[in-house]
Amino acid sequence: MRIAAMGDIHSNHIALEECMKWVYRNNIDGIAFLGDYISDCPYPEKTMRIIRNIPDAFKTWFVRGNREDYMLDHRYNLTEEWRRGSSQSGSLIYTYNALSGGDMRFLEAMPIGMEVKLDGYPPFSICHATMQSNRRLIYSDSPDIDELFDEFMTGVLVCGHCHQPYVKSKDGKTIINAGTVGNPVYGQKGATIVLLESDGGEWSCQHIEIPYDKQALIDEFEQSGLLYFADVWARAFIASLKDENGVNFNHECAKLVKQLCEEQDKQFDDEDIWQEAAKRLGI
């Protein structure tokens, strides 16, 4: 049995298309999708079209990420100030405007975690961040990773969210972070997915890195108007794509904005603060 696990696509349909080509070439029996399918990259409707059609060809399992929750929650809080031209929220409103009612229902039906059970094979668990939260960041060296081990009852948990691929084992259990399809950081050069294999015994895993045309994605930021919608946030994403050292400029920028807001007693959506952070980071 060969299962591909992938998540954190972030609307990068170009990377997703290359991952699916790999899946078709490699006799995959099923695909576990780990959430954060949308936001950040251009044309989220293209990503949604791909993932909604995959169940016609493969056995699939889907869990919901925090980015999906942002979109679903916004339906009931339209007074929330997501504005085009805002570095803090422009990417969110761009994504929200591109989603159909069918897309929303597809995302809403997903749980945040589940056990995958296949006849003749050990069950394994999947989630976006943890089995109880799709927003909690846990890295391989996080002091609270032991709490994540306590959240799943199977021998293996495959997750995402932090964009950092790793394998961590304890007391007969293993956590596998799949990394990210759409936002290569922390040394990843291309889209990263996980291949799970079993002949009926324990699952083995392998991280697979799949190259894709980053320049084509960068070109889409300009063609789509997303740079106009999201400004610094979009520029930070492009900087991450270009960086040879794997810096997550979106993460670094948001962290610096938070620091500057505290120092200057400003709100997190203050555009001048975002521009100052971008200047300091050189993006």
Query: Which tokens go with 9?
Result: 């696509």
Q: What's residue 265's pLDDT?
A: 98
Neighbours of 233 (CB within 10 A): 26
Q: Are 42 and 226 in contact (CB under 8 A)?
A: yes
Average pLDDT score, the chain: 97
Average of per-residue pLDDT across 93-106 = 98
**Phi first, then psi: what are they for 151, rounded to 5°?**
-85, -15
Average of per-residue pLDDT across 94-103 = 98
Q: What's residue 77's pLDDT?
A: 86
Task: Give the relative orientation of helices 44-53 and 101-108 as an angle to the nearest 10 degrees.
Answer: 60
Question: Per-residue pLDDT for 5 more than 80?
Answer: yes
Q: Are 125 and 113 in contact (CB under 8 A)?
A: yes
* pLDDT tens figures, 228-263: 999 999 999 999 999 988 899 999 999 999 999 999
End-to-end CA separation in angstroms for the chain:
44
% of the chain surpassing 90 pLDDT: 96
| Nearest CA-CA partner of 60 in 124, 134, 5 | 5
Average of per-residue pLDDT across 134-161 = 97
Question: Per-residue pLDDT for 78 more than 80?
Answer: no
Bridge partners, 33 (sequence order):
6, 62
| Nearest CA-CA partner of 161 in 69, 78, 57 | 69
pTM across the whole model:
0.96
Question: Per-residue pLDDT for 142 more than 90?
Answer: yes
Q: How confident is the model at residue 48 (pLDDT cuts 50, 70, 90)?
A: very high
Q: Residue 25: exposed, middle, or buried by beta-carbon count in 10 A (0-12, 13-18, 19+)?
A: exposed
Domains and CATH numbers, the chain: 2-210 (3.60.21.10), 227-281 (no CATH)
